[in-house]
Chains A and B, each alone.
Chain A
Amino acid sequence: MADMLKRTSPPVASRPWLAPLPAATRYSLRGGAEARAAVAAAFGVEPPTQACRAASRGARSALWLGPDEHLLIAPESDGATLATALPAALAGVPHSLVDVSHRQVAFEVRGPHAEWLLAHGCPLDLDVAAFPVGMCTRTVFVKAEVLLWRTADDRFRIETWRSFTDYVITLLAETALELPA
């Protein structure tokens, strides 16, 4: 399945302002405080309760998407371990845990024009004062839903549903035509 998806999805070509990010293991977690505590122990990162914030430890991250919804991101190689560890930790706790590893594609928009490029299609205030490092949220990029996560002053991790990737990157590339060479 993973191999098939890799073959059929458009590759993200590296550019000065764009970097592809490696395939990842992703889980959509829904649940309350009890589920968050169980995941914190098994996953090693406590799902944040503050709205629109991401928490990381090592290569694993937990992103707040809603008051009872988090996205867990880990290296692809952790997939098999997590597939048994997370359900085991959550046994008996009301929750929903869905493997969405291959649903979305991640890439990074970076450099001094990162904010400017994203502002072309995203209605949020992306100034670092309004959208600080560590903030993450679902939002829109033109007509596509995206997940936006600022990982550094000049770096954003973008996750889009697989079939939207080409649309988002094409629009970013068109905007980038206006960048100084």
Chain B
Amino acid sequence: MLIIDCPYCGPRPELEFAHGGQAHIARPADPSQTTDDEWTEYLYLRVNTKGVYAERWRHARGCGRFFNALRDTTTDQFLATYRSGEKPPVGSAARSAP
């Protein structure tokens, strides 16, 4: 079983967590002014990186908090976890924006 390091609770078993998709996606400030293509991109289009990926996780069966993680999608290894609102750790190779 994977051990995921919750930024609030520390290392905990994978069973307690829920995956939340790609991280650092900003909601358009004024949705009524976006084009259909921009809105579609915001809602549906994700980068699906092969390699280091910044994604959201939730410690659903623990503290309940969302946080971000850098995970290598080829090895399933977690490289770092950090709190929502924080930037990915410096020097990481994450490609988080499309």
B1 in the interface (beta carbon within 8 A) = yes
Assess A137 versus B9: contact at CB under 8 Å? Given A69-B64, A123-B15: yes
B60 smallest CB distance to A (angstroms): 9
Assess A51 versus B9: contact at CB under 8 Å? Given A65-B63, A137-B62, A138-B61: yes
Query: Beta-carbon contacts of A110-154 to B below 8 Å, as 1s and 0s?
Result: 000000000000011000000000000111100001000000000
Are the CB atoms of B16 and A139 closer together than 8 Å?
yes
Question: Chain A interface mostly helix, strand, loop or mixed?
Answer: strand
Query: Beta-carbon contacts of B36-76 to A below 8 Å, as 1s and 0s?
Result: 00000000000000000000000001111100000000000
B13 in the interface (beta carbon within 8 A) = yes
Tier of interface size on chain A:
10 to 19
Contact of A124 among B12, B63, B65 (CB under 8 A): B12
B9: chain A residues within 8 A (beta carbon): 51-52, 137
Are the CB atoms of B64 and A65 closer together than 8 Å?
yes
Interface pairs (11), CB distance under 8 Å = A51-B8, A65-B63, A67-B63, A69-B63, A123-B13, A123-B16, A124-B12, A138-B63, A138-B64, A140-B15, A145-B61
Are the CB atoms of B65 and A67 closer together than 8 Å?
yes
CA distance A52 to B9 in the complex (A): 7
B98: chain A residues within 8 A (beta carbon): none
A140: chain B residues within 8 A (beta carbon): 15-16, 61
Query: Beta-carbon contacts of A43-71 to B below 8 Å, as 1s and 0s?
Result: 00000000110000000000001110100
- Which residues of chain B (1-37) have a CB below 8 Å from chain A? 1, 8-10, 12-13, 15-16
Known: A69-B64, A123-B1. 20 other contacts (CB 8 A): A51-B9, A51-B63, A52-B9, A52-B10, A65-B64, A66-B64, A66-B65, A67-B8, A67-B63, A69-B63, A123-B13, A124-B12, A124-B13, A137-B9, A138-B61, A139-B12, A139-B16, A139-B61, A140-B15, A140-B16
A51: chain B residues within 8 A (beta carbon): 8-10, 63
Are the CB atoms of A66 and B13 closer together than 8 Å?
no
CA distance A65 to B10 in the complex (A): 13
Are the CB atoms of A139 and B62 closer together than 8 Å?
yes
CA distance A139 to B17 in the complex (A): 10
Question: Top 9 nearest A-B pairs by Cβ distance?
Answer: A123-B13, A66-B63, A66-B64, A140-B61, A123-B15, A67-B8, A51-B9, A138-B62, A145-B61
